[in-house]
Amino acid sequence: MSEQMTFRGQVTLDGPSGTGKSSVARGVAAHLGAAYLDTGAMYRAATVAVLDAGVDPADADAVARTVAAARIEVGTDAATELVQVDGVDVAARIRGVEVTRAVSAVSAVPAVRRQLVDQQRALVASAGPVVVEGRDIGTVVLPDATLKVYLTASPEARAQRRAGQLGITAPDEVAVLAADLRRRDEFDSSREDSPLRPAADAVVVDSTDLDQQGVVDRVVELATSTVAAGERA
């Protein structure tokens, strides 16, 4: 497929925190003229609903009831960020420390996952060509995707990137951030329902020594060569 040809497939990007999933997925979507879905934003929005209801994130039944009653909306346009809970814009709040600390507990609740996975599949079905990022997209949400990428990077690089994003420079604060990332990744990888892991047919891309554009270029190259191979078959 030449780059000018229209990309009609689905690209999944999974991996641990700070590997560059969101920024790379946006770049790839823009390059391919595809829609973009940030599934982490949906779990984060569900977490806002739980915290606002005063529910303990560890109380799975109450979490499931609260999220079932909430209207969670996210956009699929790579150029703009739309995240709402019951019509209220929560795009900034979902990135806060409070939500980040609670999100893994909320996303481990099977009923929450069923609800949001159904919603993700419906959004993808109406989006056309799409780049979707998260933790279980290649394994559970879109097992037949055109291209599955599993992004990795060293723990040090991931902590440094997140620190840069949050404007944190003090070494002790970076160390706290690194410990938080490690804890969340362990939780996400060891949960029973849809743990974080590469799909058997995912291409693993280590971004430790690549800059953001380098990773975007690599994923676009993989997407175009996968489509070309499919057309030859």
Among 135, 148, 161, 218, binds ligand CDP (CB under 6 A): 135
**Closest to ligand CDP by CB, 38 or 218:** 38
* Number of Cβ atoms within 10 Å of the Cβ of 153: 23
* Cα distances (angstroms) measured from residue 69 to each of 46, 57, 62, 112: 10, 15, 11, 11
**Closest to ligand CDP by CB, 149 or 227:** 149
- What angle (nearest 5°) sits at the alpha carbon of residue 196, between those of residues 191 and 202? 150
Tokens of 194: 């849809």
Among 19, 66, 76, 194, binds ligand ADP (CB under 6 A): 19
39 annotated as ligand-binding = no
Q: Which amino acid is at 11?
A: V
Q: What residues numbered 179-208 form the site for ligand ADP, per CB under 6 A?
A: 207
Site string for ligand CDP, 104-123 (x = CB under 6 A): x--x----------------
17 annotated as ligand-binding = yes
Measured distance CA(93)–CA(99) in Å, rounded:
8
**Residues found near ligand ADP in the complex (CB under 6 A):** 17-23, 161-162, 164-165, 207, 210-212, 215
